[in-house]
Amino acid sequence: MILEPIVPDASGHFLVTTTGQPFFWLADTAWELFHRLNLIEAEHYLETRRKQGFNVIQAVILAELDGLHTPNANGHVPLLGDDPTRPNEYYFRFVDEVIRLAAEKGLYIGLLPTWADKVDGKWWGIGPAIFNPENARIYGKFLGQRYRDDSNILWILGGDRSAIGYEALWAAMAEGIMEGLGRRPFFTYHPRGGNGSSEWLHDADWLDMNMWQSGHSVLDAPNWDMVASDYNRTPVKPVLDSEPNYEDHPIDPFTRKWQVEFGRFSDYDVRKQAYRAVFSGACGHTYGHHSVWQFWTLQREPVNFPMPAWDEAILRPGAAQMAHLKKLMLSRPYLSRIPAPDMLPDLPEYDSENSETFSALRAAYPCATRCANGMYGMVYFPQAGQSLRVDLRRISGEVKAWWFDPRNGKTYPLGDYPNEIVNFTSPLAGPDWVLGLDSVSLK
């Protein structure tokens, strides 16, 4: 199947196909897809995610978990002698098959040429660091030539690292890819936890979209602030949270040893990060499950206490619930959407120096979005029984209100309201809800 290329829209904030259709990036982190699965397993995984409504799969060619020296499921390593200029044809034939299988299912591959421990080996990861600007360009050109006819690739450079000191290397890899392709493709960059690509690369000519990684340490990491900071940058570029807390990942705000005594992130935690990032201006969202990114089975060495095995984990509730967010956002005029903190006159300010206040306010922090011309608005209530004053004067004319359940995508009518500030209290069932607000003139 030939998929349309994806580009930023005219506003610079969102993504569209080349024929102008809105594209809501809904991705899954499948970092070890090419490295750990065979073709039958890959087909099962991709088909499951297709049915669940995902449209992007983020995967790495030179994978994180000893991706250079531990062979893939077919017994092949990716490079000969750890040399980026000497790719192993047999390994790449399998990558080809998976990319084309994804295309047949209408899925884009957010393709990382390498995890960045192969570039910057000073921190964590097995590595080894094998790239320099010269061989990065050669490797990039090889990839561009090889995938010149594959329309479902969205190129992601980086891989859990800062770009500081390596800007020229990543630019060389991007230039090589463009040379091999013979055209300018879509590029973004995956940063380390707690950071965004904009901090290092926002003005890079090759970068089309910014990514944040809000990470896996604490509950309610304020990704809404991360997204908002990039939404307001110039030049304007789309932004999203490319790695928020993984479902079932251990919570560990203190030791970073990822023990399980503090619990695990739930589907509720996943939803909070997704809705608040998108309502703050993100052009989509990336979901992840802690067992799925590493495709863990009982026969594999676990990374940070995964559970359950990947083939069960792909059915965890958070994954299926992400489709409700995508459908909700595309159910209204999409490209005129803007963040709407102006709809929440009592939006709290939190003090990062006060840990108790900081945590409590972040847990309950609401976010709103609306149409720029007042045709609709939406408010995310993170907690059940939460009361918020909402400024309906931002909506044009009389307002028809409704509740949206992010667990199942069902809507419940609430009634009509005049253009004034109105207090709304979310239902006690939940915990979280979306308040939908439509101008009665919306057709």
Helix, strand, or coil (residue 118): helix
What value does the mean pLDDT take over residues 364-372?
Answer: 97
Residue recorded with tokens 């897809």: 33
Q: What is the pLDDT of residue 357?
A: 64
| pLDDT confidence tier of residue 351, bands split at 50, 70 and 90 | low
Q: What is the pLDDT of residues 58-81, one digit of tens each?
A: 999 999 999 999 999 999 999 999
Does residue 252 carry a pLDDT above 90?
no
In whole numbers, what is the pLDDT of the chain averaged over residues? Answer: 95
Dmax over Cα atoms in the chain, in whole Å?
70
Q: Any residues with CB less than 8 A from the CB of 37 and at least 6 apart, and which?
A: 45, 73, 295
Domain with CATH 2.60.40 in the chain: 337-439
For the segment 124-141, the average pLDDT, to the nearest whole number, is: 94
- The residue-averaged pLDDT of 72-92 equals 98
Q: What does the pLDDT look like over 404-419, one tens digit per residue? A: 999 999 999 999 999 9
Buried b (16+ CB within 10 A) or exposed e, 117-133: bbbbbeeebbbeebbeb
* DSSP symbols for 241-307: ESS-PPBTPBP-SSSSS--STT-B--HHHHHHHHHHHHHTT-SEEEE-BTTTTTT--TTS--SSS--
347 or 357: whose pLDDT is higher? Answer: 347
Examine the pLDDT at 260 and tell me if it is beyond 90. Answer: no
Q: How confident is the model at residue 304 (pLDDT cuts 50, 70, 90)?
A: very high
Amino acid 121: pLDDT: 77
Tell me 2's DSSP state. P
Angle at 227 between CA 238 and CA 310, to 5 degrees: 90
Who has greater pLDDT, 357 or 434? 434
Phi/psi for 129 (5° steps) reads: -75, 120
Distance CA 354, CA 351 (A): 6
- DSSP classification of residue 136: H
State yes or no: pLDDT of 371 exceeds 70: yes
Distance CA 224, CA 214 (A): 10
Give the per-residue pLDDT at 354: 62
* CATH number 3.20.20.80 given to 6-330: yes
At which residue do the structure tokens 């020296």 appear?
69
**pLDDT given for residue 15 in this prediction:** 98
Average confidence (pLDDT) over 433-439? 98
- Residues forming beta bridges with residue 328, ordered by sequence position: none
The rounded distance, in Å, linking the Cα atoms of 244 and 214 is 5
- The residues facing 22 across adjacent strands are 16
0.85 surpassed by pTM: yes
Class of domain 337-439: mainly beta
Phi-psi map region of 53: left, alpha, beta (phi>0 left; psi -120 to 50 alpha)? left
Q: Which residues in the chain are classed under CATH 3.20.20.80?
A: 6-330
**377 strand-pairing partners:** 370, 437
By the 8 A CB rule, do 63 and 94 touch? no
State the pLDDT confidence band at 239, using cuts at 50, 70 and 90: very high
